[in-house]
Structure 1
Amino acid sequence: MLGVVAGTSISISIDPAGGPYPLAIIIAAVLAGSLGFLEDLRGLPIAVRAASQLGVGLIVVVAVSSCWWWVPVGGLAIAAYMNIANFMDGVNGMSSVHGFIVGLAVATIGFTGLGPTWMIPAGLVLAGSFIAFLPWNLLPPRVFLGDVGSYVLGAVIATILVSAAMSGVPLLTLLSMVAVYLADTGYTLLSRIARGERWYESHRQHVYHRLEDLGFGHLTCTAIVGGATAVCASIGILSAGSGYWLLPILAIVAICGGYISLPVIFARKQVPRT
């Protein structure tokens, strides 16, 4: 959280032309990190936690947009991705790699002129802040991200993507960066609801959880999710401005579908635990 705040503050002092968007990133990081810190220390009831996450999203969107319909849409998007990032923070290194890949993709969009220039420092700060955490969390794992870290990751990514959408960046390009996380969480949530389970309770049924149970190590799971995310993000960036959208969508859907199918495929092959 402090890395995101410090890095973004420095970028504002160097180039204040980014408008309200860099400030929104700081607000998102501080509010989400503070909420996650309370959750880590004391725990919060589900209703209080959900209302607080939505409050964070609404405050951030109000800070950057005067368009009334963006407020509920953007607020819900930020609150939702805070939870998604928290759900996907289950093996060592995955969140750091996710923040790094999405940050590089965001910076690439700004650098290539596909989006506003404020996305360059925003992406680099995001990538740098989370890749700096990787050595502490991977080999050997000594520190865990916790709610404070995963909330910051989700809120900052969602704030950048919502702000970029407001700035005219194609939605397909933005969603491609988070497609794998959305697919894993959406598939798992719908599956639990269909089975009549209490979907809001803690569980180990995400795709990456099931791969881990089949014997895949943390590093392998992180590499699979990170690799799929990088490929989807590359497809989304390459499709921006091309006028073609059907083939990129089909490719991203195929990648996400293949990822979701991995536990079934390898369970049939009876991969030995290593």
Structure 2
Amino acid sequence: MNVELQKIGMVAAALGVALIVAFILTPVVKVLAQKVGAVDVPKDNRRMHDHPIPRMGGLAIFLGFLISALVFVQITPQLRGMLLGAVIIVVLGIFDDIYSLRASFKFVVQIVAALIAVCSGNIIQIISNPNVFSSNPYWDLGWLAYPVTVIWIVAITNAVNLIDGLDGLACGVTTISSMTLLVIALVVGEPQVAFLVAALVGGCLGFLPYNLNPAKIFMGDTGSTFLGFVLAVISVQGLFKLYTIISFVVPFLMLGLPIFDTAFAFIRRIAHGQSPMHADRSHVHHRLIDMGFSQKQAVAVLYIISAILGLSAVVLTTGGPEKAMLLLLALCAAGAVAGRIFLHNNEKKNGAVPEDRPSGDGKEDGE
């Protein structure tokens, strides 16, 4: 019991150190971003803000995470590889926030960073077989482990980056996903993974007060790609190596929102004959804004969806797939009913009236 309490205390300390460092450094990074020209100027309808806002705030998250990880986590080849890859991602993000680099160049550098992490031992070697009727419960990926892991890391890196479209969205969703992974790591007895994730949660929580609507600073690609990269590598260390059903399902539940949004965006763009990397205004958060939600409401809805998926992942880990599926269905049904009630009230507030009454000026609540 004392050992468990000590472990939880260390996790809390790792979280606290990262939180304090990120919280203190964010104003410093804001001044630095303004001096080097890392400022987001609204120039198209994808931007939700109407005035220039400094970005590159992810540097504060990274420094909080790095200091906490170096203090509380045992240095292993896997950790060194992850940190080296993360440094490359952060440096790339800083230059992108200042100079707006080409997508193709960023993609190549992301692959290099992923390869460094993979060659250091962060590899998805065995996953559970998604075919529950198969006599073989596990898949040994063999030589495919290397390309599969690289694809996973690069995909999640970009998935988190793509949902960074509203104040506090990517940071908050990453916090929820990280807390899910933290609970799972404690439940299955992975203390090193728990310390790492706690440092990531702390860095996000320290930055979040400055990033909530109305945001004083954006994390930029410096933060969103770093968060995606670290989450992807930690999931390889802490989830995929578990020889159970959760090794396949849990990472996809935990990161369900960014994975769904990215997959839907790629399918939509390819169907329209566009490049998958072509920017547009049809992400989930944009659709919520177009439906009449304010930024705060849209972010709250996506936080709830992420929390539902995260809670389902935790239940799947501790209670089995049947309980997790029932919980997911029940929460989705409750969310659908609540959403319908909200939309009905929102329509009435915005001027929608019954058909047997004269209609007034319908004013859409857009931002």
**If the length of structure 2 is used for normalisation, what is the TM-score?**
0.64
**If the length of structure 1 is used for normalisation, what is the TM-score?**
0.85
Partner residue in 1 for 2:117: 60
- Aligned-partner Cα distance in 1 for 2:332–2:92: 34
Structure 1 stretches of 4+ with a deviation exceeding 6 A read none
Whether the aligned pair in 1 keeps the contact of 2:240 and 2:247 (CA below 8 Å) is: no
Whether the aligned pair in 2 keeps the contact of 1:5 and 1:29 (CA below 8 Å) is: no
Aligned match for 1:191, one of 239, 261, 268: 268
The residue identity in structure 2 corresponding to 1:154 is G
Q: Does 1:221 align with 2:298?
A: yes
Aligned-partner SS, 1:170: helix
The residue identity in structure 2 corresponding to 1:74 is T
Q: Does 1:109 align with 2:184?
A: yes
Cα offset, 1:242, TM superposition: 4.5
Alignment of 1:72-111 (within 5 A): 72-111=147-186
- Aligned-partner Cα distance in 2 for 1:189–1:81: 14
Whether the aligned pair in 2 keeps the contact of 1:85 and 1:154 (CA below 8 Å) is: yes
- Aligned-partner Cα distance in 2 for 1:225–1:173: 19
Alignment of 1:150-165 (within 5 A): 150-165=224-239
Q: Which moved more, 1:128-137 or 1:167-176?
A: 167-176
Compared CA separation, residues 214 and 65, structure 1 to 2 (3 A): closer
The Cα offsets for residues 101-155 of structure 1, whole Å up to 9 and x where unpaired, read as 122111111211x252212111111111011111111143110111111111110
Cα offset, 1:249, TM superposition: 9.3
- Aligned-partner Cα distance in 1 for 2:170–2:178: 12
Whether the aligned pair in 1 keeps the contact of 2:240 and 2:248 (CA below 8 Å) is: no
- Aligned-partner Cα distance in 2 for 1:243–1:165: 15
Whether the aligned pair in 2 keeps the contact of 1:8 and 1:121 (CA below 8 Å) is: yes
Aligned match for 2:315, one of 217, 238, 253: 238
Partner residue in 1 for 2:278: 201
Aligned match for 1:175, one of 252, 262, 284: 252
Aligned-partner SS, 2:216: coil
Compared CA separation, residues 199 and 9, structure 1 to 2 (3 A): same
Unaligned runs of 5+ in 1: none
Unaligned runs of 5+ in 2: 1-61, 126-142, 351-363
Aligned match for 1:70, one of 122, 145, 150: 145
Whether the aligned pair in 1 keeps the contact of 2:253 and 2:310 (CA below 8 Å) is: yes
Aligned match for 1:30, one of 87, 104, 107: 87
Aligned-partner SS, 2:149: helix
Compared CA separation, residues 200 and 90, structure 1 to 2 (3 A): same
% of aligned pairs identical? 25
Partner residue in 2 for 1:273: 365
Q: CA RMSD in A?
A: 2.9
The Cα offsets for residues 184-217 of structure 1, whole Å up to 9 and x where unpaired, read as 2211221222122343222111011111123312
Whether the aligned pair in 2 keeps the contact of 1:92 and 1:138 (CA below 8 Å) is: yes
- Aligned-partner Cα distance in 1 for 2:162–2:288: 15
The Cα offsets for residues 228-273 of structure 1, whole Å up to 9 and x where unpaired, read as 1111111112112645369639937x959x88xx89x959x85641
The residue identity in structure 2 corresponding to 1:197 is Q
Q: Which has the larger radius of gyration?
A: 2
Q: Does 1:8 align with 2:100?
A: no
Q: Does 1:43 align with 2:96?
A: no
Aligned-partner SS, 2:217: coil
- Aligned-partner Cα distance in 1 for 2:192–2:112: 25
- Aligned-partner Cα distance in 1 for 2:324–2:122: 32
Aligned residue-pair number:
264
Aligned-partner SS, 2:201: helix
Compared CA separation, residues 187 and 250, structure 1 to 2 (3 A): farther
Compared CA separation, residues 247 and 107, structure 1 to 2 (3 A): closer
